[in-house]
Amino acid sequence: MDTSLSISYILKEPKVIKDKNPLIILLHGYGSNEEDLFSFASELSDEYYIVSARAPYPVPPYGYAWYAIHFDADANKFSDDAQAIESRELIVKFIDELLQKYPIDSNNVNLVGFSQGAILSYSIALSYPEKVNKVVALSGYFNTNIINENFESNDFSKIKFFASHGTVDQVIPVDWARQTPTVLKSLNIDFQYKEYPVGHGVHPLNFKDFKDFLEQ
Q: Kindly report, residue by residue over 177-196, the tens digit of the pLDDT.
A: 999 999 999 999 999 999 99
pLDDT tens, residue by residue, 16-70: 999 999 999 999 999 999 999 999 999 999 999 999 999 999 998 889 999 998 7
Indicate whether 4 belongs to any domain.
no
> What are the pLDDT digits (tens) for 88-131?
999 999 999 999 999 999 999 999 999 999 999 999 999 999 99
Would 16 be classed as within a structural domain?
Answer: yes
* Range 1-12 average pLDDT: 93
Any domain includes 50: yes
In a domain, 3, yes or no: no
Helix and strand totals (H; E) in the chain? 6, 11
Q: What is the pLDDT of residue 68?
A: 92
Would you say residue 75 has pLDDT above 70? no
HSE, side-chain direction, 13 A CA sphere, residue 77 = 7
- Collapsing DSSP states into helix, strand and coil, what is residue 67? coil
Say what the pLDDT of residue 78 is. 74
Which pLDDT score is estimated for 73? 65
- pLDDT above 90 (res 74): no
Give per-residue burial for 46-85: e unless 16+ CB within 10 Å, then b. Answer: ebbbbbbbbbbeeeeeebbbbbeeeeeeeeeeebbeebbb
Task: Specify if 29 maps to a domain.
Answer: yes
Q: pLDDT tier at 1 (50, 70, 90 boundaries)?
A: confident
Domain count, the chain: 1
Residue 1 domain flag: no
C-alpha angle 65-69-72 in degrees, rounded to nearest 5 = 165
> Would you call 9 helix, strand, or coil by DSSP?
strand
Question: Residue 212 pLDDT > 80, yes or no?
Answer: yes
The CATH number of residue 188's host domain is: 3.40.50.1820
pLDDT band for position 8 (50/70/90)? very high
Residue 22 lies inside a defined structural domain of this protein: yes
Q: Which domain range does residue 16 map to?
A: 9-215
Alpha helices in the chain (DSSP H): 34-38, 81-101, 116-127, 174-177, 180-186, 204-215
CA distances to 19, 23, 29, 39 from 106, in Å: 12, 8, 25, 25
In a 13 Å sphere around the CA of 163, the CA atoms on its Cβ side amount to: 25
Alpha-carbon distance of 61 to 191, in angstroms, equals 37
pLDDT at 160: 98
The average pLDDT across 5-25 equals 96
Query: Which pLDDT does position 79 carry in this prediction?
Result: 83
Give dist(CA 122, CA 113) in Å, integer: 9
State the amino acid at position 72 in one-letter form: D
60-64, 71-75, 170-174: lowest mean pLDDT where?
71-75
- Is residue 3 predicted with pLDDT exceeding 90? no
